[in-house]
Structure 1
Amino acid sequence: MLAFVALVSGCVTVRAPVVLTTSFDAQAAAFINVEGRAKVSGQAFVRRNDGSLLRAVGTDVFLVPRTAYADERIAAIYGGGKQPVAGVRMPEADPLYDQHMRKTIASSGGSFSFDRVADGEYYVIAMIHVRSDVMFLQFPIVERVSVQNGRSVRLVMRGY
């Protein structure tokens, strides 16, 4: 949340553009298209300092297969945390990267679900809705998840 506030308020140091050293490998991400037995579901929100919740309400939630390319992008954007690092300037993603992820829409309570997920390592990226009278604002939070032996996984994504 702090990164988002700093970004909006304009007091962010703009960093040099990120240069990725890894190319996207569609074969490494192909397991996203395998029909599995697991379900990855959960709820995504961030608690504000005043105690109120900002939820992923009607926003996109992505299931991204963990690959070297995804690892490098996620590390650059999130810096090891669960919210974006302020001022990061990322290059456009390889178009095949966008084609090798799944997307759903969060419910009014911030809940989401992906069915028939194959075993593997994934990132779940949820867009959090920020109330504004002027425009629709949102920012992403991320969690890493492992699906093993067809067992379903339930996440509570808090953004911290």
Structure 2
Amino acid sequence: MKKRMSVYVCLLAVFLMVSACSNDSEKSAPPIMYNFKEPTSYPFEISEASTEIDIGKPDYLHQFIFTYYNEETTQRLKYIVSKVLGEQEELSKNDKIEYQLKNGVSAYYEETSTSQSLWWERHDGFLARYVYFTDNNRSELGNYKLEIEDFLDLANQVQ
């Protein structure tokens, strides 16, 4: 009887040690399932489209990247929706031109010789941005530069 009792005590001790050492992060990790709208019309013809879900740090950053590409012209548009969990992700509004989306949200436009971008804070806490460039961002936009109205139209489509 003493032997049996000591076996039960040992098993109980092992169970408690394993339970204490187990990682509960899987139970507390927020879900990665979201429903995002994608645009239905684009400022250039799309020959390829892809979606990437960045889950490298599921407890910290949720990021979804929708890429639209024209193989002939090398035009590439990325729609990036990201959220830093537990914190508010902020981008500098300095040196960016502010516009209003149809729903009244402020959107910020920035342009360089090789790229254009528009970003805004979504109602669900995500930061959304469109980034546009050609030739893998190695050459100036030239004739392929988009109008700001193109970006505003894209943003209004996904609201």
> Same-fold call, TM > 0.5?
no
TM-score by length of 2: 0.30
TM-score by length of 1: 0.30
By percentage of residues, which structure has more helix? 2
- In our comparison, the structure showing a higher alpha carbon Rg is 2
